[in-house]
Structure 1
């Protein structure tokens, strides 16, 4: 019996000790340096002035010109642009494929808008959205070849 007990004790002694590693919860996604997180997206102000199409092409990190889905998101973007001192900027809205049907360049649905009174008016074929227009800081459709800075966004 003692030999069997000793054999069992030796076997127990040779088993690896239990690990006391604490499992960490997955890291919450974060934004690249210079980007601002809001909700499930990161926003970036690009001070390079460009046409709407060129601004969309300049983007990095899997981003598009920003789509806007609520007044809070709009206000967050406004604070971001105010920090850099630029009034009008590009966001990702366009009706270039079909007049009056506004789309976001990131493919999300266009269910929120903040148009200025009388806008969009398609004055001489205006198909892209600038935000922070005029005293009301609202949206205006403008010619897509105008040169403005932009705000882009990506999901995290």
Structure 2
């Protein structure tokens, strides 16, 4: 039995290799290079615009924050964490300072948080002066009370060095000793007791209409 063998013609087509002399390829290279440069320019422009937009957003947020802070407190008062603080420019003794704060709609500052102490320090270091705060042991020696009659917490005390020392003067001329407290620019631990009769600046505090 014979086998039928079928032959078919196979045609091989050799594609012309696209060489450097091919005009079509040269045009394509020029076009591709031009488009690439255009894309690079577009990317650079978009990147610049994006940076500008981010800066504008940052400036807007800063301005908004400042506007909110300004509207949250009376004029010349500083905002922090839901409260307003007034740093006086005139000086009074402690009792008159307490009364002046009440007249201004607040009270001598009561410090019960570390972030509050840090905020106050960030302000008074600019002035390089001492300020009265609302703490005294005038009623009972050694029993420190805030102006709202709450006791000083053992966990939130920022006495400087060996303070309070109830100093009575170089010759013991002040029998009552130092019964009122000042805050100085000596770092986080910056409270000292002082003679209540001293004339110093004061820090007043009140609640803000803007809550954190």
User: TM-score normalized by structure 2?
Assistant: 0.55
1:130 aligns with 2:182: yes
Q: Which of 182, 197, 201 is matched with 1:145 structurally?
A: 197
Higher relative contact order (CA 8 A, sep 6+): 1
Distance, in Å, in 2 between the alignment partners of 1:136 and 1:64 is 22
Give structure 2 stretches of 5+ with no counterpart: 1-67, 169-176
1:114 aligns with 2:158: yes
Distance, in Å, in 2 between the alignment partners of 1:95 and 1:141 is 9
Whose radius of gyration is greater, 1 or 2? 2
- Give the structure with the higher percent helix: 2
Figure out how many residues of one structure are paired with residues of the other and give that number: 129
Distance, in Å, in 1 between the alignment partners of 2:128 and 2:87 is 10
Q: Aligned with 1:50: secondary structure?
A: coil
Give structure 1 stretches of 5+ with no counterpart: 1-26
> Relative to 1, partners in 2 of residues 1:136 and 1:77: Cα closer, same or farther, differing over 3 Å?
closer
User: TM-score normalized by structure 1?
Assistant: 0.73
Q: Deviations 1:48-106 (Å, cap 9, x if unpaired)?
A: 111000111112342111011122111111222233x1421111100001111111113
**What is residue 65 of structure 1 aligned with on the other side?**
108
Q: Aligned with 2:119: secondary structure?
A: helix
- Give the structure with the higher percent strand: 1
